[in-house]
Structure 1
């Protein structure tokens, strides 16, 4: 226990005091607030972080270190056993490589569910009412501009691809608007967790949904899981909402589907090459766009930071994580 140090990469906004209090159960607190990947690698190779047993890193800190790929993992101190990640998504961490090296990884599910689901509903309602045209027109002094009637959510079939914590929170909210919920996962949920939602195959979800909400993690098997072949299966005039990860959907294929009318409108908080957005999406009036703000609330950001610190404390004191990534669970 005495030799178990901790490392924070980046900065904390809401829990700096709680981080400092970690010195009560660690041998040393290391902090790498800013810098470049090569500098970080150099410090690792020189042994500056030797003795670090658990690390706090976030999606934001990826701008400092770059992806946690094999090169970076090989440079990390041999003492490192736990990476406590701040983010529901962790596609910038090579989980198989971590597992091979004996490093356990945690993320922040639960803490992000409500805020992300709220944004999904915001985008869904905005897309249903096709608000972008009117929103732009009124600011340009054109009143309603190129206005067209929208659609009510009531009695629409909402298909949820990925019925985890966020997907379930989306379903719960959508039911209040009178939507009929169906979903697809790799495995059907227990009846007690479905809350009346109907489990369907992937193909059935595509063919029968009026609105499709993407709420699944990004990994090699889900990259471009929605592309031209999938759009071709969908109802004409479907509405698509993505608050998960941009590369889940082929953006170029989405632009074509929007132009053809296959997709009536879309609501997007994430993009394939953030912060770059496909020009076809920026030009389209039938898309509601947000700059990846799904978890951007004071309360949720604090909850996420605190959950990471709780994982770090559990790792150092008990050799286990509270919210270990599912790929590593036995």
Structure 2
């Protein structure tokens, strides 16, 4: 089959080509997928999209008219797809539901520890022969209360690491996991989690119901000086509300691997461009804010699994018309 990849990076080519064994025709496009760029997929049997592609009804309609048969997401989230439109147009949508959850969990802890112990700032100081410790004071994570919003595979991988640090773990999830209680974690309401946690980490998909889950009201319920970490989806946090909480001191630390307006920024080299996003530029002026460019998934193991599962998903659809990793209804 011919598979057209959108938002393709060099590492996508590297891992997919290595596992394809020249079985399928793989076409790579730098462009993000949307209603305007969808025409690039002329002649494709399937398109492979990533987190910031926009597969709305208009885009899907163009793809269906071009004869595209399947939509493959090389990611776990599917909030970028209009599933109702896909079903109406007869376009099956498949995803990679879990790829090395430990990769994202480990990046979550890297953000926590870096932001807490100021290792990024210390690195730059020492390179300038400044060995002063003033301004680098952190806190001991051992015995702190960490609240996890979402205990799916990534949330549970994070919980296991935190248990090793000796943290008290609170969690909120509509679908509790018995493994969390085995780690001596406790499920509580969102309000309790906000009120009791020293650190809050988000590990849930973005849905219309939890858009801006962290907002002015929920931030006010949190402990003064709380650390907030988001490695899930940017739209979970109201950025303006977070900025206001940083300025007041209510939010003591903010670590982001995702950002609600990232689609026009992340996965690109914009170092020669002037800043265009005022909120992001303002965030980056705070010494207690740490931002990475959606790299939580970026390990050799995770990319290998993404390529393997994506190709297998499409081969299942081609052979049987169904796939275990299908989302939405047809």
Q: Taking structure 2 as the reference length, what is the TM-score of the superposition?
A: 0.83
The answer (yes or no) to whether the contact 1:56–1:312 under 8 Å persists in 2 is no
Task: Say whether residues 1:316 and 2:326 are aligned partners.
Answer: no
Question: More deviation in 7-16 or 171-180?
Answer: 7-16
Question: How many pairs are equivalent?
Answer: 308
Residue of 8, 22, 34 corresponding to 2:4: 8
Q: In the superposition, relative to structure 1, how do residues 77 and 93 fare at CA in structure 2: closer, same or farther (>3 Å)?
A: same
The answer (yes or no) to whether the contact 2:258–2:294 under 8 Å persists in 1 is yes
Residue of 85, 89, 96 corresponding to 2:77: 89
SS at match of 1:278: helix
What are the within-5 Å matches in structure 2 for residues 146-185 of structure 1?
146-185=134-173
Task: Tell me what 2:20 maps to.
Answer: 19
Task: Say whether residues 1:56 and 2:56 are aligned partners.
Answer: no
The CA deviation at 1:184 is 0.8
Task: Tell me what 2:273 maps to.
Answer: none
Task: Tell me what 1:229 maps to.
Answer: 217
Deviations 1:109-163 (A, max 9, x none): 3214111111000011122324454344434554336414211111111111111
What are the within-5 Å matches in structure 2 for residues 279-290 of structure 1?
279-290=281-292
Task: Tell me what 1:70 maps to.
Answer: 57
Task: Tell me what 2:93 maps to.
Answer: 105
SS at match of 1:120: helix
When the two chains are superposed, the root-mean-square deviation of aligned CA atoms in Å is 2.6
Structure 1's unaligned 5+ residue stretches are 24-28
Residue of 22, 27, 32 corresponding to 1:31: 27
SS at match of 1:223: coil
The CA deviation at 1:265 is 1.3
The CA deviation at 1:192 is 4.5
What are the within-5 Å matches in structure 2 for residues 199-218 of structure 1?
199-218=187-206
Task: Tell me what 2:296 maps to.
Answer: 294
Task: Tell me what 2:274 maps to.
Answer: none
The answer (yes or no) to whether the contact 2:159–2:180 under 8 Å persists in 1 is no
Aligned mates of 1:92, 1:316 — CA distance in 2: 23
The CA deviation at 1:297 is 1.9
Q: Taking structure 1 as the reference length, what is the TM-score of the superposition?
A: 0.83
Q: In the superposition, relative to structure 1, how do residues 139 and 257 fare at CA in structure 2: closer, same or farther (>3 Å)?
A: farther
The answer (yes or no) to whether the contact 1:129–1:152 under 8 Å persists in 2 is no
